[in-house]
Amino acid sequence: MSHRFFGVCFVLQLIIWEVSGTSIWVDGVLRCRNQTLHGLNKFRVELWDEEMHQLDVKNAWEEGEFFLDTSQSDVFGGRPYIKM
């Protein structure tokens, strides 16, 4: 368990996942630019860990960045990933 915890901390020091303008940065906050989807400026972003614990979810309507809390990834262990 201790080994996994340090692995998560190390990984979170870098951008650990980036897809479609979505990144997790050192502060444990996910930032995602809103994109037009089927003509609507709204989409859902979910953050999950490897053991299928849902860490956070947000719906976005506006341009710019919004935030998902990734702090629980340290509790569950493993590398969080993004489902869009």
* Confidence check: pLDDT of 25 > 60: no
What phi and psi, each to the nearest 5 degrees, are found at residue 41? -85, 65
Domain count along the chain: 1
Query: pLDDT for 34-59, tens place per residue?
Result: 444 445 445 566 666 566 666 666 65
Q: How many residues does the chain have?
A: 84
User: pTM score, two decimals?
Assistant: 0.30
| Residues 16-45, mean pLDDT to the nearest whole number | 47
* Confidence check: pLDDT of 84 > 60: no
pLDDT of res. 8: 42
* Confidence check: pLDDT of 62 > 60: no
What residues make up the domain containing 10?
Answer: 2-83
Rounded Cα distance between 75 and 15, Å, is 19
Rounded Cα distance between 34 and 59, Å, is 10
